[in-house]
Amino acid sequence: MKTLEGHKPSPKCATRPAPGRVLATFLLALAMAGCANWSWNPAKWSLFNEDPAPAPPVVEMLAIESLSSNPAADRFSQSWDGVRLVIDIRSDTGIGHAVLKPRNDGWPLRLAFRLHLPALEAFEVRSAQTLRFGLGHEPLTEPAFIDLPPGAYTKDSPQIEIQWVDRYR
């Protein structure tokens, strides 16, 4: 064994590591192995990793006819949110016009629109009342949700006309 000049090995120095060091090394390795699947992304932490709620079932409560210049670019889906019927509107052109008519069961108690558009410059509803909504020309980070107030349509309204523009051109 090589020693420094004038240095004698102490009896505490041994070729085997101390049992405490072995245990500490083992626990450190075990902790590191447990972190192998850990992520710095908070969205992946179990606290935030809940399954998203399933989409509500699609229904056909109202007859919807697109009157746009390109009706194939407009897509509508209907689903219930409690007593409120929510109509999802997707429009590839960003400008649209449609007519809603009740089917056999009449009008729903409440009606709302969710517009999946890049922006919403104007949204107009015409029935018992004429209502205009607008969110400006700023980009939307999520769909615009418009809940119609009571009196916007009545149970005797023959139809509801809607028009939308994402941005004036």
Q: Is 74 helix (H, G, I), strand (E, B) or coil?
A: strand
Q: Is 16 helix (H, G, I), strand (E, B) or coil?
A: coil
Give residue 71's region: left, alpha or beta (phi > 0; psi -120 to 50): alpha
H/E stretch holding 30: helix 19-34
Q: What is the token pair recorded at 85?
A: 């019927």
Q: What pLDDT is attached to residue 166?
A: 92
pLDDT values of the chain reduced to their tens digit, one per residue, 169 residues: 555 566 666 665 556 666 677 777 777 766 666 555 555 566 666 655 566 677 778 889 999 999 999 999 999 999 999 999 999 999 999 999 999 999 988 999 999 999 999 999 999 999 999 999 998 888 999 999 999 999 999 999 999 999 999 987 6
Q: What is the token pair recorded at 52?
A: 């998203």
- Would the pTM of this model clear 0.85, i.e. be above it? no
Residue corresponding to tokens 């418009």: 146
Q: Could you give all domains of the chain from N- to C-terminal order, each with its CATH number? A: 58-165 (2.60.120)
Distance in angstroms (rounded) separating the CA atoms of residues 91 and 96: 7
Q: What pLDDT is attached to residue 20?
A: 74
Q: What pLDDT is attached to residue 54?
A: 75
Distance in angstroms (rounded) separating the CA atoms of residues 63 and 51: 33
Q: What pLDDT is attached to residue 73?
A: 94
Q: Are 94 and 163 in contact (CB under 8 A)?
A: no
Q: DSSP label at 98?
A: E
CB atoms under 10 Å from CB of 163, counted, come to: 16
